[in-house]
């Protein structure tokens, strides 16, 4: 099968290797790689938008971008927010880093499992991280009242709520998130990470960004790369009252955004319909993919409102073994969650993808299962033979 991938590549950090690094290791087969790991929107930008970008690429790369205030002003017009309440950054993780330095002084509460930077970043700077475990028995659904009691009992000074949560896609209603913010108005900071909020289908207006803009201690985090299918550009933003947002803008470099980010932000004005259509297609695919995966005896599928599905493998199946098999034999890249706090190797996060890609994933799991259980049966036969001869 050409170049096989060294399993050690997946052990180097709490995050998955990049698509580029993995594809390089795979040689020729890297060109056939199907990515079920990185949570991207497969339907946006459209091919026509990519053609327009390609035609303008030389200009985009040769010249300096505008300053952050100019790009932020355009984004504010696109999303319908006051530019004084927005701070744009080179990826949402840049904002997580600066929030930790600026506003997390003592302790932070966070449900786990969740996006790794929310636990890793404050731990790296010596803060106390109060981790609230989400239970499989509750399908990893966050109980807001239990979480508030936990925050009070631990006396956490900052609280984070990811909605939908990563890696399970669990969603908390807008009404409950607003109640959560109001109950914790005395904290140093409340962060609502809405990196995947655009994929929510069960409420028409799920975001609390407008609410954050009028509260004294609330920040809403947004990730444009995840929504727009453009992780490589690295752009995200926060929404908060003008005082908090202004402090973040003054902290960030004046030219912290690149020309590709600027070009995309200005393109969005004319492509809103295509973006909303992409979300409809993704919701369709999420339902279809969940139904197909639920039919596999090896998997338990959890309900999600994000652009990924959390699944649990049946007993006796090693997630890292399946991951390595799929990437080497079928060129399918998945996220095994053994290095996520609150998870184990029995859990996989699978990004929602079009039907033809899901068919390839399902075929790979079928092939792995046949080999795995055939090997288990052969081992059992050998054991029985050994017992009889003993």
pLDDT in tens, 240-283: 999 999 999 999 998 899 999 999 999 999 999 999 999 999 99
| Angstrom distance (rounded) from CA 285 to CA 328 | 25
pLDDT tier, 1 (very low <50, low <70, confident <90, very high otherwise): very low
Look at residue 262 in the predicted model and tell me its pLDDT: 94
What contacts 140, CB < 8 A, 6 or more positions away? 113, 134, 165, 168, 170, 302, 310
Number of neighbours of residue 383 by Cβ within 10 angstroms: 10
Q: b or e along 190-205 (b: 16 or more beta carbons within 10 Å of the residue's beta carbon)?
A: bbbbbbbbbbbeeeee
- Measured CA to CA in angstroms, residue 289 lies from 56, 150, 309, 316, 362 at distances of 36, 35, 9, 24, 10
SS3 67: coil
- Measured CA to CA in angstroms, residue 98 lies from 101, 156, 300, 312 at distances of 5, 19, 37, 34
pLDDT in tens, 125-161: 999 999 999 999 999 999 999 999 999 999 999 999 9
Which of 39, 117, 116 has its CA nearest to residue 309? 39
pLDDT in tens, 59-108: 999 999 999 999 999 999 999 999 999 999 998 999 999 999 999 999 99
Helix H, strand E, coil C: the string for 194-262 is CCCHHHCCCCCCCCCHHHHCCCCCEEEEEEHHHHHCCHHHCCEEEEECHHHHHHHHHHCCCCCCCHHHH
Q: What is the pTM of this model?
A: 0.90
Phi, psi of 189 (to 5 degrees): -160, 145
Number of neighbours of residue 350 by Cβ within 10 angstroms: 24
Look at residue 101 in the predicted model and tell me its pLDDT: 98
């Amino acid at each position: 099968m050409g170049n096989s991938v060294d399993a050690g590549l997946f052990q180097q950090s709490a995050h998955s290797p990049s698509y580029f690094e993995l594809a390089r290791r795979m040689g020729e087969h890297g060109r056939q790689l199907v990515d079920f790991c990185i949570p991207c929107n497969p339907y946006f930008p459209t091919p026509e938008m990519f053609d327009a970008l390609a035609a303008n690429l030389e200009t985009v790369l040769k010249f300096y971008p505008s300053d952050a205030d100019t790009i932020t002003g355009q984004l504010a017009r696109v999303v319908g927010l006051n530019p004084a309440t927005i701070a744009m950054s080179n990826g949402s993780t840049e904002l997580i880093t600066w929030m930790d330095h600026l506003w997390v002084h003592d302790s932070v509460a966070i449900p786990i499992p969740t996006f790794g930077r929310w636990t890793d970043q404050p731990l790296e700077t010596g803060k106390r991280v109060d981790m609230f475990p989400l239970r499989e028995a509750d399908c990893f659904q966050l109980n807001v009242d239990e979480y508030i009691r936990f925050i009070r009992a631990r006396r956490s000074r900052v609280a984070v709520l990811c909605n939908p949560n990563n890696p399970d896609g669990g969603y908390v209603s807008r009404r409950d998130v607003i109640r959560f913010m109001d109950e914790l108005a005395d904290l140093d900071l409340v962060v609502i990470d809405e990196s995947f909020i655009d994929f929510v289908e069960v409420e028409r207006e799920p975001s609390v960004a407008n609410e954050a803009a009028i509260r004294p201690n609330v920040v809403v985090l947004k990730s444009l790369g995840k929504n727009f299918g453009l992780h490589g550009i690295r752009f995200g933003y926060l929404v908060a009252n003008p005082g908090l947002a202004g402090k973040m803008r003054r902290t960030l470099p004046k030219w912290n955004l690149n020309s590709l980010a600027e070009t995309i932000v200005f393109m969005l004005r004319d492509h809103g319909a295509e973006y909303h259509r992409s979300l409809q297609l993704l919701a369709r695919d999420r339902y279809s993919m969940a139904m197909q995966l639920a039919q596999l005896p090896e998997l338990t599928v959890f309900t999600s409102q994000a652009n990924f599905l959390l699944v649990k493998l049946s007993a006796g199946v090693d997630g890292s073994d399946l991951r390595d098999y799929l990437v080497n034999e079928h060129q399918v890249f998945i996220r095994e969650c053994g290095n996520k706090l609150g998870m184990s190797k029995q859990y996989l996060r699978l990004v929602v993808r079009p039907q033809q890609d899901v068919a390839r994933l399902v075929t790979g799991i079928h092939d792995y299962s046949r080999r795995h259980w055939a090997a288990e049966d052969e081992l059992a036969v050998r054991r029985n033979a050994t017992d009889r001869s003993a």
